[in-house]
Amino acid sequence: MRYVGLLCLLALMSYQPGPKFPVKLSDYGFFEGNLHEQKPMPGVTPYTLISPLFSDYASKLRFVQLPTGKSVAYNPDSVFQFPVGTRIVKTFYYPIDARKPDAERRLMETRILSHEPTGWVALPYIWNEEQTEAYLEVAGGTSKVEFKDAKGKNQQVNYVVPNVNQCKGCHERDGIMTPIGPSARQMNASLTYSHGTENQLDYWRRTNQMTDVPEGRPTFVAYMDEHAPLNERVKAYLDINCAHCHNPA
């Protein structure tokens, strides 16, 4: 068993993503200024989901970078089909004190889904202790993080960053890697941009990042919203947390 485990480790260590995938997150040019502040550069669009995937109580910052001159075709039923050259960026972090979500935070990892001509590739970048840079770690990693929850109680999580092969466990359908979250029902909500607050789908349509966006669109409730109908909360929870594995494909 030790021999098999060693072979698996050596296989991961020998994985070479190639020169087109930078070793440092900063080399992509997704963010301006202090990398830790996660301020997107022009051409990098922040987005949010109404009912996000649960990830060990971590919060997330989400961004999409479409290739120049390309757009996404709207559809009401499934995750959007992004053009080749798209990069979906997701940073996982913990507020040091959840009662003060805009105060100090610890960034854990930034995952990139890069749509290559051969398909989607998952790339995990782990943040250093100084919180100044994140580095490509194809073998993943673990790190303990401590924080105060919304009730002020001390919590500790042994945060796990998946390796490049483990990403397929959630993102693979019919043997093909694919994004999970960005869909009409998940993004039909307002988000605060640099110019003000606007519905995300309207913003993508206005900025020519999405075509054929209708006025009537499906939507989810936030499953953490205790004021929403319980049946709708359950459906939203199952859709984002379970359906990417528990489906006919």
Condensed to tens digits (0 to 9), the pLDDT of residues 188-214 reads 999 999 999 999 999 999 999 999 999
Phi/psi at 67 (5° precision): -65, 150
Distance from CA of residue 135 to its chain's centroid? 17
Per-residue tokens: 214: 């209708």
pLDDT at 93 > cutoff 60: yes
pLDDT band at 249 (very low <50, low <70, confident <90, very high): confident
Judge if pTM exceeds 0.85: yes
pLDDT for res 84: 96
Q: What is the pLDDT of residue 19?
A: 43
Distance CA 48, CA 232 (A): 19
- pLDDT exceeds 50 at position 13: no
Check pLDDT > 50 for residue 17. no
Instruction: Please tell me the distance from the alpha carbon of residue 88 to that of residue 86, in angstroms, as a whole number.
Output: 7
For residue range 173-185, list pLDDT tens digits in order: 767 778 989 999 9
CA-CA distance, 185 to 189, in Å (whole number)? 9
Residue from 119, 129, 124 nearest 109 by CA? 124
Sign of CA dihedral 196, 201, 204, 208: negative
3-state secondary structure of 80: coil
Contacts with 61 (C-beta within 8 Å, 6 or more apart), sequence order: 38, 46, 90, 91, 93
- What does the pLDDT average to over 124-153? 92
The overall average pLDDT reported for the chain is 88
Q: How far apart are CA 27 and CA 23, in angstroms?
A: 8
